[in-house]
Structures are given as C-alpha cells and as structure tokens.
Chains A and B, each alone.
Chain A
Amino acid sequence: MSNNNVIKLTYREALKQAIREAMQKDESVFLMGEDVGRYGGSFAVSKGLLQEFGPERIMDVPLSESGFVGAGIGAALNGMRPIVEVMTVNFSLLAMDQIVNNAATLLHMSGGQMNVPVVIRMSCGIGRQLAAQHSHSWEPLYTHIAGLKVLSAGTHEDARGMLLTALQDPDPVIIFEYTYLLNKEAEIAANAGAVDITKAKVRREGKDISIITYGAAVYKALGAASELATMGIDAEVVDLRVLRPLDEATIFNSVKKTHRALLVEEAWASVNVSSEVSARIMENIFYELDAPVQRLGGVEVPIPYPKHLEDASIPQQADIVNKVKKMLQHD
C-alpha cells in the first residue's frame, strides 16, 4: 500500500522530474545552461532531456555566465519562462551584474511595468571534494539583494517541487540546489509536485530547542535530532527553505515553543543567513528566549579539497549534537 503512495528516488532524479514536468506543462518553459544538452548537465541532472524536448528547449550555451544569464532575463522580459542553470554558484558571481542590476531591479525601475519571471538554478554547497572554486555557499550574498526571491532546496520534496512554483512567479527566483545531496536517496510522495515557496517548514517537531537551518544541513540537523532523541532531548528542526523573504512567523512560532534557537548553516559564519535570523529573533521575541541564540556556521577558509579538511570546514551532525547538548547543559 505504502509503496503505491511513496517512491524512492535520488535528489538528482527529483530535480530532473521537476524540469521535465515544467516543460511538459508549459510550452514557454525552456532550459539553458552550460553542458545541459548534449553532455546531460555537468551533474547529469538534465541527462536525456535534450532527446525528449529538442535543442530549442534544452539549450547549450557558451562559457559566458554574464551573457547567458542576461539572455535568460531578456527572454523572460519577452514572455518566455526560462530556467537558467548556472553550473556552480561560484560561477554565478560572473553573472552578478545581470542578476543584481537587471533581474532584481527592472520591475522597480520600470515603474512596475516590466516583470522578469526568470528562474536561475545553481548548484552549490560543500562535501563533494570540488575544492575552493567549485564549492561554496553563496546563499547569503543573494539573500542580501532586494528584488529577488531566494529558495534553498534542502530536501527531495523541495527539489521535486520548488521549480514548478518558482516558474509561476512573475519575478526573478534563485533556486539553490546541493551537489552534496545529488546521489542521496529518499522517499517522497508518488504524486509529489509543486510546493509552496513562501513558508519555512518544521521538518521535525520538538519542544526543547529549535534547530533552524537550510540546504544540505537540513538532513544533518534531522540526523542530529534523531541522535538527540535517544538522549532524551526533543529537538525541533526548522527548514528555512525561503531565504528571502524570510518566513518570520514559522521561525518565531518554533522559538516561542522551545525558547532556544541553534542556527546551523554551511555558509561562512560571519554575516550569513543565521546572522539575520538571529537578529530578527532578538528584535521580535527576545523575551521568549531562555538561552542566548547560538550559531554553527562554516569555518572561514576557502573550502579545502582533502576530504577530512573539507568535512572539518562545515558543521557536521556530531557538531550539531554537541552544540545542542551544551546549550541544554545536558550531562
């Protein structure tokens, strides 16, 4: 019975199914990016889609991030629904000018006349031994930019569903996908599809502490919560999902319940998403706190190549467990 309702698939497969469904549903949707066609995508996400949809909808582009992101913005302005894939988040910095100065600003500068419904997907994150220029967490940079909606697909459910909703949005949406999760298998509903992209989500209910996180750290936090449960600590895991604009209500409701917050993310600890979440908790629900808000972030170094150093540069499940135990003064 349950086999009929849930399916097991990789994160990569979830992303592919989302693109396929979007393209089947809407003729104006197309995918453009480096190696997305004949090569099947540098991470094999779009493998096979060229054969299915043809070169006009699965479009290989030159190595010119500023150029092809700009082309995507132009297509969006002209009524298309482009999905622009930037191979890794590091290369997106080359397209920063297009994203900040065009995608994010045109609606405002046109007096509300020109929406830019572009969806930009980026692989990001740490943990696949891709070294400093191919594995970083630049989510905080994008969350700073007014005019963008920034999503983080930390679970298979969101990998399957966020793109579909993002394509309905009249304004630019950035979706962060995590290379670390690509081969990871998980079960999702067989009929899983479009998901809400306005709310954070409580992935596990708990009453002792809120672990607030996003991206590749969501599964680590859930693992930590299971481990903590064996010690009698009932941790709640909140997946931010939408990094801009932040869903304050879900965050605050969780902290009001547990009275403690640990913010976990892989991005460098200074001036990251956690900084913002922490500040908002202080500003709005200070009197709900029973302990200082704590953060676990990435070590502030260029991400190392060697596996053990790479692992050491970001919070791991054991770090989360230890931090929570310390905050709760457990044994």
Chain B
Amino acid sequence: MIEFKMPSLGADMEAGTLAEWLVKPGDTVKRGDIIAVVDTQKGLIDIEVFDEGTISELVIKENEKVPVGTVMALIESGKEDLTKKEAIKPTSKIEEKKATEKISVVATPQFIKASPLAKRIAAEKGIELNTIKGTGEDGAITKEDVEKAIIEKMAPAAEKKITTTENIRMAVAAAMSKSNREIPHYYLETKVDMRKALTWLTETNKQRTVKQRLLPVILLLKAVAKALVEIPDLNGYWENGLQQKQDINIGFVVSLRGGGVMIPAIHNADKKTIDELMAALNDIIPRARAMKLRSSELSESTITVTNLGEGNVETVYGVIYPPQVAIVGFGSITEEPWAEMGMLDVRPVINITLSADHRATDGATGSRFLMAVKNHLQKPEIL
C-alpha cells in the first residue's frame, strides 16, 4: 500500500485544503496523473501522483485542511509494496526527504502539555496539538489557545474565497521575509554583450513561423542552465548545509496581473533544446497566471531566474527563494557604448546579476558562474 501525502508546495507551506478529488476508489493511476486539486495560499494547485496503482481509499474529504505530510489517499500497487516504494521514492528528491522527516517525528513521540478541555476540543475539531503554542502554566495548551488556532484555521479559508491575490501577497511576504532574515546574500553583477546572441536569434527567427519564434530570454535561460552544469554549487538547497540537486529545474518568476508572483519550474532545463524550452515557457506562463500549475512545477525548482527586462529596468538584484541558494536576475537589453580591443562601439548590452547564499558559496564561485553564462551567450549557435 502506498501512502499519497499532502505535498509541500514551497518552503512556506504548512498545510493545504483539498479542494477536489479527481479520482475515486478503484481508479487506476500512473505516475504524473493529476489526482487532486489543493487550495493553498498560492491558489488552486493540481496535485500529481508519483506512483502507479489503484486508488484504494480516499482518506481525507474535500474541503478538509491538513498539514503537509498528511496521508490523503492510499494507493494499492500491484507489485510487492516495500520494494516498489523503495524503487519509486528516489526518483523524486523532495519526496524522499519528506519521508525521512516523517520517520523522525514518529521516532520521538512528544508529550504535549495541554489541559483536558483543550485536548478534547482539539480532538473534536481535528487540530493537531503540536501545531498550537500553549500560553498556560508551563506552556500548557489551554482552551483559549485551541480556540485561537481554530479561528486561524478558519480565517484563511474564508479569506481565500474572497481573494487569492491577498494570499499570494502573504505567501510572497512570508518567503521573502524568511529569506532576508535567514539568508546572508552576496551580490555580483556583470555586463554581457548580446550582439552575437541577438544576431543569431534574428537569423534563426527569420526561418521560423511566427508561432515558432524564439525570445531572447530563452537564450538566457539556456545559458544559465548550462552554466549550472559547470557550477553545480548554485543549484541546490541550504538545509543543514548545502545540498546540491541533480536536476536543474529553473524556477521562472512570473508576475501576476493582480500583483504577486508565481515561480513555476522548468524541469531539466539543461537537457532541453532551445525549442523545448520555448515550448515549456509558452505553456507555463499562461498557466501560472491562471493559477493552474501542477504541484511538481511549484515545488521542485532548484534555482530561480527573474527577468525584469520587459520593464526597461537595467538591473535587478533578486531575493533568494528559500531554501534555494541563488537567484539570477536579467535586466533589459539596452544599447550602450562598448569598448573592446581599444575600439569603441555601440552594442546591445544586458546586466546579469547573481544573488547567492553566502553560507553555501562565496563570491569566487558566483563569479565563475557569471563568466560561464557570459561565455555561453557568446556562442548562441551551440547553446
């Protein structure tokens, strides 16, 4: 039996509300199927399943809010359970991590001091005592504490119905506050001559239909992806030390019309061709704006790219999205005087910045990375 759990869709997510089940007991599912819609601070998210089998039980009901890691459904897999679980788990780094966390919680059951009344009310309302801070004698949880928790639990749900914009604002606020509070950033900046890249792009686009045409940002994304292969330290998480990630999943900042941002991940950006990247971007941006992202797209980015070029701003210094360790910023491409080999010329120039976690890496690493991006952009034909 495989347990399908409430996924974490970001560092700031603690719980989610099941909005809808898209499957029923008896349905067969395979890896990648969307089986549920979960309401989070970031709106309604499609949740994928990572296992194959038959849904045997839907454990939680629609409109129920549960903490991350709570079993939502049980999936009967045809093969031997344990080995299957072992075999499938490592395909997703994040899933694997969650599993170990879960075990450690079980291993050290904690006695929570709470009044009998508080325990009873919490049990009736389905609130976990370990999510409540006690204010009574010696930190005991009292009825008042539980009631406060109930109000807090109800309040976001009620608000969400009114506006998701506000919640996205809150989610961004929480993540960015955490970032500024916990991550010591260092910042690097470089100017890149984009003449070769843009010339190549213009030539390439000439041979394409309007629909197939490429945007400059694709070259930038590809260059970043390739640079990360060389400098893998910037592609990872800071969680009890630097954890490099195998997959290079670039989170692309999409600003929403009503304010706030979504950061969908472009999976395995280094392995995608330019065309595949363009297709991915064309697919993902409208879905992000419509808040119809899949859970894996929201939770699995390993680095973030922010591109403020459209707004004619020359330079952007990003704030790292925790627990990532770096964010790359692109300004707009502007014509500037450019000195090269003793000659002055006018070139299309872009300012590329790197904000990186100084706990994970130092300026030298960051500098090597920016140089790598720069070099890749000089050879657009082999990107």
Cross-chain contact of A291 among B119, B120, B136 (Cβ < 8 A) = B136
A–B Cβ pairs within 8 angstroms, 6 of them: A259-B115, A290-B116, A290-B142, A291-B136, A329-B135, A329-B136
Which chain A residues lie closer than 8 Å to B116 at the CB level? 286-290
Which chain B residues lie closer than 8 Å to A259 at the CB level? 115, 117, 143
Whether B136 and A287, one on each chain, are in contact in the complex, defined by CB atoms closer than 8 angstroms, is no
Alpha-carbon gap, A101 to B142, bound state (A): 48
Contact with B along A281-318 (1 / 0, CB 8 A): 00000111111000000000000000000000000000
Alpha-carbon gap, A259 to B136, bound state (A): 14
Q: How close is A325's CB to chain B, nearest CB, in angstroms?
A: 13
Q: How close is A285's CB to chain B, nearest CB, in angstroms?
A: 9
Interface residues of B (CB under 8 A from A): 115-120, 135-137, 142-144
Whether B117 and A329, one on each chain, are in contact in the complex, defined by CB atoms closer than 8 angstroms, is no
Which chain B residues lie closer than 8 Å to A288 at the CB level? 116-117
Q: How many A-B residue pairs have CB under 8 A?
A: 28
Whether B135 and A287, one on each chain, are in contact in the complex, defined by CB atoms closer than 8 angstroms, is no
Q: How close is A327's CB to chain B, nearest CB, in angstroms?
A: 8
Q: How many residues of A contact B (CB 8 A)?
A: 8
Which chain B residues lie closer than 8 Å to A289 at the CB level? 115-117
Whether B137 and A290, one on each chain, are in contact in the complex, defined by CB atoms closer than 8 angstroms, is no
Q: How close is B120's CB to chain A, nearest CB, in angstroms?
A: 5
Cross-chain contact of B142 among A286, A287, A291 (Cβ < 8 A) = A291
Alpha-carbon gap, A286 to B120, bound state (A): 10
Which chain A residues lie closer than 8 Å to B142 at the CB level? 290-291
Whether B120 and A287, one on each chain, are in contact in the complex, defined by CB atoms closer than 8 angstroms, is yes
Q: How close is A330's CB to chain B, nearest CB, in angstroms?
A: 12
Knowing that A259-B115, A288-B117 touch, tell me 20 more A-B residue pairs with CB under 8 angstroms. A259-B117, A259-B143, A286-B116, A287-B117, A287-B119, A287-B120, A288-B116, A289-B115, A289-B116, A290-B115, A290-B116, A290-B118, A290-B136, A290-B142, A290-B144, A291-B115, A291-B136, A291-B142, A329-B136, A329-B137
Which chain B residues lie closer than 8 Å to A291 at the CB level? 115, 136-137, 142
Q: How close is A173's CB to chain B, nearest CB, in angstroms?
A: 37
Alpha-carbon gap, A184 to B5, bound state (A): 70
Alpha-carbon gap, A8 to B142, bound state (A): 44
Alpha-carbon gap, A259 to B117, bound state (A): 8
Whether A290 and B143, one on each chain, are in contact in the complex, defined by CB atoms closer than 8 angstroms, is yes
Alpha-carbon gap, A290 to B118, bound state (A): 6
Which chain A residues lie closer than 8 Å to B143 at the CB level? 259, 290
Which chain A residues lie closer than 8 Å to B136 at the CB level? 290-291, 329
Which chain B residues lie closer than 8 Å to A287 at the CB level? 116-117, 119-120
Alpha-carbon gap, A288 to B119, bound state (A): 10
Alpha-carbon gap, A289 to B137, bound state (A): 14
Alpha-carbon gap, A286 to B116, bound state (A): 7
B143: nearest chain-A partner, CB-CB: A290
Which chain B residues lie closer than 8 Å to A286 at the CB level? 116
Which chain A residues lie closer than 8 Å to B115 at the CB level? 259, 289-291
Contact with B along A255-271 (1 / 0, CB 8 A): 00001000000000000
Q: How close is B324's CB to chain A, nearest CB, in angstroms?
A: 42
Q: How close is B30's CB to chain A, nearest CB, in angstroms?
A: 47
Pairs A-B, 6 closest by C-beta atoms: A290-B117, A290-B115, A290-B143, A287-B116, A287-B120, A289-B116
Q: How close is A176's CB to chain B, nearest CB, in angstroms?
A: 33
